[in-house]
Structures are given as structure tokens and as C-alpha cells.
Amino acid sequence: MAKHQLIVTILGTDSSGILSEIASTVSEAQCNILDSRQAIYGQEFSLTMILEGTQPAITKAECTIPPLCQRLDLLSMMKRTSHHAKQNLAHLIDVEFSGKDTAGQIKAVTGFFAERQGSISAFRQRTFTDKVTGEEMMRCKFVVNIPDSIDFTELETSLSALFDTLQVTGKVVDKHNKDPNENVTSW
């Protein structure tokens, strides 16, 4: 029997047991979770997942997830999709930058990679108030998949020039050439 896929996004206030109830509902619908991403933002919960199953199983998931979300006071959105294929993450680079938080920074950096046919596979941004100056600051990190035809040295030079224009500091690391002993910090 042909497999079908369903993208499900669920948002709401975080509480104990949400993932367990969602997983039970998906299992009872006889669907598999192919991929998922979960995040907690303060008190808010976010989950996106791709379910796979037969046509009747996907239909059952479409009918049982909304009442569960309503009971748990969560928002849900669903969309059927064609065959899910894993991303080709052949040439990944890490991009980090930070500085004073001003309008247009993210647009400029994402546009830089769009012009070079790069696709952003992960994105994280954090804003905070500098304790010394009182200014609003930001720190951003992207994981970008770039075409193998891109000259990394030219990309690094052009990106540094963009960072200078935006008045931020930053770096780009080619994960193919990354030092395995490099100290990686999390934030």
C-alpha cells in the first residue's frame, strides 16, 4: 500500500506530558514519525513533525490530532505533502555573527546566501541587552548548505565584507575542513 505524508506543526504553552500524548495519538493512528523538531521558547512549546502512513492512517491522524490539541490548549496546523526526502547536506558551513541589533541584518545575510543558491538548514537567533552599554544586542547562527561549486575563500571574503557593512562581527567555518579539536560552545 502506498505511503502518504503529513506535516504537523503544534504550538502552545509548554507542560509536562505533551510529547507523550502527541506520540501516543500518532501511534494509535498507526503513523510513523519520519522527522521532527521541537523547541521551547520561554514557556512556549513548538513541534513540527512529518508523519508517514497509509491513506487511512494519515486521515485518522488528521482527525485525532486537532481534538487532542484542543484539549491541551495547543494550536495545530497540518498539510499533506508529497514524498519526504532527506535534505542533501553535502557541503555545510557554520555562520555566526553578533553585534548591535538593527533592522535588516537577517534579511541581508539570508539574501547573501540566496544569491549563491545556498539553503539554510538551521537558524538560531538570540537578542539580549548588553549589561554595560544597555544596548539591544543580537547573536545569530546559521547552518548553510552551499553548492560544491562555490569558492569558499571568495564566499568567506564577501561575507566578511557584508559583516563590516552591517557593523557586526562574525565568522564562517567550512565544516568539511573543521578542526576536530575545536572547542564548540553552545548558547
136-160 per-position pLDDT tens digit: 999 999 899 998 888 999 999 999 9
CB half-sphere exposure, 168, CA atoms < 13 A: 27
What local confidence, expressed as pLDDT, does residue 187 receive?
43
Region label for 30, one of left (φ > 0), alpha (ψ between -120 and 50) or beta (otherwise): left
20-66 per-position pLDDT tens digit: 999 999 999 999 998 888 888 889 999 999 999 999 999 999 999 99
* pLDDT > 90 fraction of the chain, expressed in percent and rounded: 67
Q: Tell me the pTM.
A: 0.63
What local confidence, expressed as pLDDT, does residue 89 receive?
59
Instruction: Count CB neighbours of 141 within 10 A.
Output: 16
Q: How far, in Å, CA of 26 to CA of 86, rounded?
A: 21
* Residue type, position 131, single letter: K
Q: Classify strands 92-100 and 136-145 as parallel, antiparallel or unpaired.
A: antiparallel
Question: Measured on CA atoms in the order 55, 60, 61, 62, is the torsion positive or negative?
Answer: positive
Q: How far, in Å, CA of 67 to CA of 69, rounded?
A: 5
Collapsing DSSP to helix, strand or coil, 20 comes out as: helix
Q: Which residues pair with 98 in a beta bridge?
A: 139, 169
Give 8-62 as a DSSP string. EEEEEE--TTHHHHHHHHHHHTT-EEEEEEEEEETTEEEEEEEEEE-HHHHHHHH
> Radius of gyration of the chain from Cα atoms?
20
Joined together, the cell numbers standing for residue 17 give 506530558
